[in-house]
A and B are shown apart, each in its own frame.
Chain A
Amino acid sequence: MAILVVAAHDGKTVRANVANAVAAAGQMGSDVTVLVAGSNCDEAAKSAAAIQGVAKVLQADDAAYANWLAEDIAPLVVKLAPNYSHVVMAADSVGKNIAPRVAALLDVAQVSEATQVVSPDTFVRPIYAGNAMATVQTADKVKVVTIRPTNFKAAAAGGSAAIEKIGGEGAKGLSSYVGAELSKSERPELTSAKIVVSGGRGLQSGENFKMLETLADKLGAGLGASRAAVDAGYVPNDYQVGQTGKVVAPDLYIAIGISGAIQHLAGMKDSKTIVAINKDEEAPIFQVADYGLVGDLFQIVPELTAAVEKK
């Protein structure tokens, strides 16, 4: 049976992690359909059709879908679901919000943040902040799965799937969108950046974080943070890397003034190369770092910024 990937998008293009979800879906079965629900989402549907491995795109255009309210999107997915063996979403803030609502309406379990597809009904997923990996099997008719994007190599571009327009289900009137306060940044998005520069409580202030911005911009890097730095108000919430924030796995992760609590490690320990800069040589972050530099970040960061070439 076919697999339904539910895509998040901004109206123009589907999120980068949809290509990871398509790749994961390809391991569950061969016939992958992508649902693009939105308001005036022609362009987004086209971008989904251009992902390799996508057999068909369903485009549901309805004003009710403009802002991805779970109460309105879930019934559409539930209506389509019986035609599919799996409903797959990336485990980002959209997937985490919608997929469980879909699963409960279908009276099925959900597999959260699968990191590996063992077989179409068996998945590996991290529990306890990634300190244990559980292999779980589901017998449900429709399998609702969110996947951790960093664990599946994105499907390439170059597809040319057919786009089929389907109707919407309208608004349920339970909730309404008021607005967003999005962090503006020209930097690469944290979860897909090749290099991530991340700061912790050691930075001491939001003002000092500018130092990391300069370094990040020189490296073409995304910017992340520990929970402590977010809680202290140095940076916005969407910078948080970790068990309860974002999971990243860049080629290079530079942890600066971060101690390396398990909750933080859960979000970055799959990075290819890890650098830690910390004045405490006993800091747990050094246990996972490929290259550790013990010292005062206020000296080291400007020096490092001067030493790397601009990308």
Chain B
Amino acid sequence: MKVLVAVKRVIDYNVKIRVKADNTGVETANVKMSMNPFDEIAVEEAIRMKEKGAATEVIAFSAGPAQCQETIRTALAMGADRGILVQADGELQPLAVAKLLKAVVDKEQPGLVIVGKQAIDDDSNQTGQMLAALLGWSQGTFANKLNVADGSVEVKREVDGGLENIKIKMPAVITTDLRLNEPRYASLPNIMKAKKKPIETLAPDALGVDVAPRLKTLKVEEPPKRKAGIKVKTVAELVDKLKNEAGVI
């Protein structure tokens, strides 16, 4: 079984975001970019499946500008076998990414697609569910634990009230939650080896996908700022403030 994982290039989670002065978006020039943390978890899970013999090949997919090659290389250094870059320079929204992924799935016929539950830049939490819909496949979202057995996957999901267990037919789409695993760091020898692994570059047109954005971004603004309050010295003072100033207890 092949496993396809999606890896998105995003602004590193440690970077302090700055909104552009002209309100068209956020500053991306000269900021550190990394693989979306949820996608590191997706890559790790796929590699573990291969190590256990449940998967035969792990393919890393990314869509975006040419620099997404670096993100794919990171996945290859972790242990993925080869990469597919769908190169597109404009904005890619979740529906478009799902359509690109579908086109690649049609070609590669993986048994599982593993993507992050959300990308930490746009925070949409849509792509995996959309892909499952387009393929007519089952979906195991917000996965906390996976067990692949006999043509189906047992998925433990992180839900509002705790955990939920479902069993879904394969082929299937999985979206990762934080507790699924702890991704490994790539070792230096593996980083060197990854340089020789193949990455295929495709264009959206060649896949027959129209990636034009459906949502129009009118503006991007700073959120209202919260002012720091005061420091109290004692518990008694805190309780007094909460009672008599804020009126919340």
Contact of A136 among B26, B134, B215, B234 (CB under 8 A): B215
User: What is the bound-complex CA distance between A191 and B161, given in angstroms?
Assistant: 11
Measured CB to CB, the nearest residue on chain B to A239 is: B162
- Given A129-B123, A291-B242, A308-B249, verify A303-B228 contact (CB < 8 Å): no
Q: Is the CB of A230 within 8 A of B179?
A: yes
- Given A104-B129, A286-B228, verify A127-B121 contact (CB < 8 Å): yes
* Chain A CB within 10 Å, residue with most, of B118, B137, B144, B220: B220
Contact with B along A267-301 (1 / 0, CB 8 A): 00100111100000100001111111110000010
User: What is the bound-complex CA distance between A102 and B129, given in angstroms?
Assistant: 9
Across-interface contacts of B95 in A (CB, < 8 A): 103-104, 107-110
Contact with B along A103-115 (1 / 0, CB 8 A): 1110111111100
Interface size class of A (residues with CB under 8 A): 35 or more
Cβ of A92 under 8 Å from chain B: yes
Cβ of A86 under 8 Å from chain B: no
Cβ of B149 under 8 Å from chain A: no
Q: Is the CB of A291 within 8 A of B230?
A: yes
Across-interface contacts of A244 in B (CB, < 8 A): 38, 117-118, 120, 177-178
Q: Is the CB of B222 within 8 A of A133?
A: yes
Across-interface contacts of B201 in A (CB, < 8 A): none
Cβ of A160 under 8 Å from chain B: no
Q: Is the CB of A132 within 8 A of B161?
A: no
Q: Is the CB of B214 within 8 A of A288?
A: no
Across-interface contacts of B126 in A (CB, < 8 A): 100, 103, 110, 112
Interface size class of B (residues with CB under 8 A): 35 or more
Q: Is the CB of B167 within 8 A of A110?
A: no
User: What is the bound-complex CA distance between A303 and B117, given in angstroms?
Assistant: 41
User: Per DSSP, are chain B's interface residues mostly helix, strand or loop, or mixed?
Assistant: mixed
User: Per DSSP, are chain A's interface residues mostly helix, strand or loop, or mixed?
Assistant: mixed
Measured CB to CB, the nearest residue on chain A to B133 is: A104
- Given A135-B217, A136-B218, verify A174-B138 contact (CB < 8 Å): yes
Q: Is the CB of A101 within 8 A of B139?
A: yes
Q: Name the segment of A29-37, A58-66, A68-76, A198-206 touching the other chain.
A: A68-76
Q: Is the CB of A289 within 8 A of B229?
A: yes
Q: Is the CB of B134 within 8 A of A293?
A: no
Across-interface contacts of A132 in B (CB, < 8 A): 17, 19, 26, 220-223
Q: Is the CB of B130 within 8 A of A103?
A: yes
Cβ of B141 under 8 Å from chain A: yes
Q: Name the segment of B55-63, B69-77, B152-160, B189-197 touching the other chain.
A: B152-160
Cβ of B169 under 8 Å from chain A: yes
User: What is the bound-complex CA distance between A229 and B162, given in angstroms?
Assistant: 15
- Given A104-B95, A182-B162, verify A128-B123 contact (CB < 8 Å): yes
Residues 163-207 (chain B) with a chain A CB within 8 angstroms = 163-169, 177-179
Q: Is the CB of B229 within 8 A of A290?
A: yes
User: What is the bound-complex CA distance between A259 and B50, given in angstroms?
Assistant: 38
Q: Is the CB of B130 within 8 A of A180?
A: no
Across-interface contacts of B127 in A (CB, < 8 A): 100
User: What is the bound-complex CA distance between A181 and B117, given in angstroms?
Assistant: 21
User: What is the bound-complex CA distance between A128 and B229, given in angstroms?
Assistant: 25
User: What is the bound-complex CA distance between A262 and B120, given in angstroms?
Assistant: 12
Across-interface contacts of A300 in B (CB, < 8 A): 235
Contact with B along A223-234 (1 / 0, CB 8 A): 000010011000
Cβ of B67 under 8 Å from chain A: no
Cβ of A130 under 8 Å from chain B: yes
Contact of B130 among A104, A182, A269 (CB under 8 A): A104
4 shortest interchain CB distances as A-B pairs? A290-B229, A100-B129, A104-B130, A109-B214
Enumerate chain A interface residues (CB-CB to B < 8 A). Answer: 69-71, 74, 92-94, 96-105, 107-113, 122, 126-140, 173-183, 191, 195, 219, 227, 230-231, 236-238, 243-244, 246, 251-252, 262-263, 269, 272-275, 281, 286-294, 300, 303-304, 307-309
Besides A93-B159, A252-B246, A304-B238, 13 more A-B contacts (Cβ < 8 Å) are A69-B166, A70-B141, A94-B159, A102-B133, A109-B214, A126-B223, A133-B222, A134-B220, A180-B159, A290-B246, A292-B230, A293-B232, A294-B231
